[in-house]
Structure 1
C-alpha cells in the first residue's frame, strides 16, 4: 500500500475507501479457484490445437472453425438419434417425476394456486408466480 501511495496518493486513498476483499488478491475467498479453472481450460484448448498453435493466424482460425463445425455435426447426429424432443437425461427425469407425481393428490386452493399432498408431505404451488415449495 505504501508503494502505491508513493506512486499515486489519489489511488491509495481511493483503495482505502473500498473493502479490501474487492481489490486485494490475498483477501479473496479461498474456496474460489478461478485461476485454476481458467488455466485448465486454456491448457485443454491448447492441447486441442496441437501443432496448429505454431501456424499462422489464418491457419489457426481455419483449424478452430473446422473443429467447431465438426463438433456441431457430431452433436446434430447425436440429437437425431434421440427418441424424443428432449435430451435423454432430461427425458428420463421427466418420466421419473411423472411416475412419482401419480402419488400426489391435487387440491385447488385459489385461482391457479394448488396444494399437493403426497407421501413426503404437502407442497404449495402458485402458477402465476412460477413458484412451489
Structure 2
C-alpha cells in the first residue's frame, strides 16, 4: 500500500492532518450527540428546502421560510401522534435491519448484562447495562449494533429498552411541541423611528451593456425554427 505521507498524496495528508480528527473521523466523534453521520446532507436538504425562497427579497424570503416551517412543524407533530410504540418508526426499521446482521455471531453471557460476542474471526465485548460495545457503534449512535442485537435477541430482551431516549416518540414530540408565533401583515406593521435601510447604489458597468439572456434565447429559437423550416421544405417549394 502506498504511503500517504509521500508522493502526490502528501498534500492531502498534510491538509487532513491539520484538521482535528473529531471533525471528520467517525472513530473520534463525541458520543454525547448520538450521531454517526459524516456528511452534511442535512444542510444540503435544508438548502434545497428554501431554494425558491432564497431568490426573494429579504422580507419576502423570511416570510416564505416562516410559512414552510409552520407547516413542517405541524405536519411532523401530527404524523408522529398517529404512530404507535415507544420508538420512532425509522429507528425501528433501522433496528430491524441491524438485527439481520447479528446472525452468525455467538453470544456468551458473563454476568450483569455483560456478554462476549464472536464469529470465529472477530470478538467484541458488550455491556447492555451501559449501552456499550467494543466496536464503538452502540455508544456512538445510541442504537444497538449488531453485536448488541445478538445478545438482545438470544436472551429475549426488549430492544426498545436499549435505544437511546433521543429516538423515542416522547422526545420527538417535545422537539415539535413549540410553534412559530404568527406575524400580522404589512398593513399592521408598526412604523419604526429607526432610519430605513436602503439598498446600495448600483454603478454602471464600463463598456457596452450586454443583451439580456431572454433576448438571446428568443433570437436563437427564431433562427432554429427558420432553419428547421428550410430543411423540411419540399423540392417543389424550393
- TM norm structure 2: 0.29
Name the structure with the higher helix share: 1
Bigger radius of gyration: 2
Q: Which has the higher strand share?
A: 1
Q: Greater relative contact order: 1 or 2 (C-alpha under 8 angstroms, separation 6 or more)?
A: 2
The TM-score, its normalising length taken from structure 1, stands at 0.45
